[in-house]
Amino acid sequence: MTEPPKGRRPAWTEERGTSDEGRRGFEGAPEASGKGSGPEASGASRASTPLLEVRDLTVHHGQLRALDHISLRVFPGEVYAIIGANGAGKSTLLRTIAGLHQPTEGSVLLDGQDLTRLRPERRATQGIAMVPEGRRLFGSLTVQENLQIGATYAREGPWTIDRVYEIFDWMSQRKTQRTAQLSGGEQQAVAIGRALVANPRVLLLDELSLGLAPVVVQRIYAMLPQILATGLTVLLVEQDVSQALRVATRIQCLLEGRTTLEGRPSDVTADQVEAAYFGLAGAAAAPPDEGTEP
């Protein structure tokens, strides 16, 4: 679990379409969730009600405008990825959806129901679960207790603690250990398990790859198809753009709190993504720049 971050992928612009490093395990993700398993993600059904909708959301951190009129619609079964550089407002967006920040304007709706005034714990019981940035496990509790906390106010559904032990097969042997003793990747798995056992309708994943070795990140993203197979809808935030493009059925790029690009990964070009990510004005025509890594 402590692999050195060797083989760090090159800039995603080069990698997309050319490199297949790390693709193992992800092949099925978008297909299993959207395109393959039903018409949800196809253009025709986008007219139906979105499961999660964010309307014109503006959030301030003190004087700073962290999000500026952001809107998004996530339909059932989708994997919706928010990408963007540091400080673009990605995490703020997820935290506002989960209820940890109050917006100054705009609203958050789950299945047409307005959640904007609800506290985070009420949103959780309505079906929004979040794997927070930095994992945020209960360090003095054991693995099992962390999962039990996740299941305290669980909705009805397919996920149980035993089911989590099935998909992460190492976990049951270490269930009596405190999570503070686990490696980063193992902690991330427990954090995902803790969110799953609540049987959410929408799973928010905040920077799963943060602070983890690439191999570990691969392993965690490899679980996604299994998770999606139970009918979950995922909204994820990812700094690792190639990773996001690989798993997502839809992406939105943020830059300084504003939307700069929205669409299906197959419909956007690498140049468009780069332009949106860095905010380059005439970037569609700009040559790929070797020197600019995210």
Minimal distance, residue 180 CB to other proteins, in Å: 9
User: Based on CB atoms, which residue is closest to other proteins, 30 or 132?
Assistant: 132
- 234 is a site residue for other proteins (CB under 8 A): no
Q: CA angle at residue 120 from 249 to 209, to 5 degrees?
A: 45
Q: CA angle at residue 228 from 274 to 107, to 5 degrees?
A: 65
Tell me how far apart the alpha carbons of residues 234 and 227 are, in angstroms, rounded to a whole number: 10
- 148 is a site residue for other proteins (CB under 8 A): yes
Using the rule CB under 8 A, which residue among 30, 50, 150, 265 binds other proteins? 150
Among the candidate windows 84-92, 138-146, 162-170, 277-285, which touches other proteins by CB under 8 A?
138-146
Question: Scanning the structure block, which residue is given the tokens 């209960």?
Answer: 138
Minimal distance, residue 236 CB to other proteins, in Å: 15
Residues near 28 by Cβ (< 8 Å), separated by ≥ 6?
Answer: 225
Residues near 126 by Cβ (< 8 Å), separated by ≥ 6?
Answer: 110, 113, 115, 118
Contact 247, 224 (CB under 8 A): yes
Where in 69-108 is the site for other proteins (CB under 8 A)?
98-100
User: Based on CB atoms, which residue is closest to other proteins, 55 or 178?
Assistant: 178
User: Based on CB atoms, which residue is closest to other proteins, 23 or 136?
Assistant: 136
Lookup: tokens for 87: 């400080």
In the shown chain, the binding pattern of residues 117 to 136 toward other proteins, with x for contact by CB under 8 A and - for none, equals --xxx--xx---xx-x---x
- 116 is a site residue for other proteins (CB under 8 A): no
In the shown chain, the binding pattern of residues 242 to 261 toward other proteins, with x for contact by CB under 8 A and - for none, equals --------------------
Torsion region of 241: left, alpha or beta (phi above 0 gives left; psi -120 to 50 gives alpha): alpha
User: Based on CB atoms, which residue is closest to other proteins, 203 or 241?
Assistant: 203
Using the rule CB under 8 A, which residue among 40, 79, 194, 203 binds other proteins? 194
Residue 29's φ and ψ, nearest 5 degrees, are -55, -60
- 203 is a site residue for other proteins (CB under 8 A): no
- 109 is a site residue for other proteins (CB under 8 A): no
Using the rule CB under 8 A, which residue among 152, 181, 183, 292 binds other proteins? 152
Tell me how far apart the alpha carbons of residues 180 and 194 are, in angstroms, rounded to a whole number: 15
Tell me how far apart the alpha carbons of residues 68 and 29 are, in angstroms, rounded to a whole number: 31
Minimal distance, residue 184 CB to other proteins, in Å: 16
- 215 is a site residue for other proteins (CB under 8 A): no
Residues near 92 by Cβ (< 8 Å), separated by ≥ 6?
Answer: 59, 61, 66, 67, 101, 257
Number of residues lying near other proteins (CB under 8 A): 28
- 184 is a site residue for other proteins (CB under 8 A): no
Minimal distance, residue 193 CB to other proteins, in Å: 12
Angle between helices 214-221 and 184-196 (to 10 degrees): 20
- 61 is a site residue for other proteins (CB under 8 A): no
Question: Scanning the structure block, which residue is given the tokens 């059932």?
Answer: 76
Under the rule (CB under 8 A), what is the footprint of other proteins?
A: 98-100, 119-121, 124-125, 129-130, 132, 136-141, 145-146, 148-150, 152-154, 194-195, 198
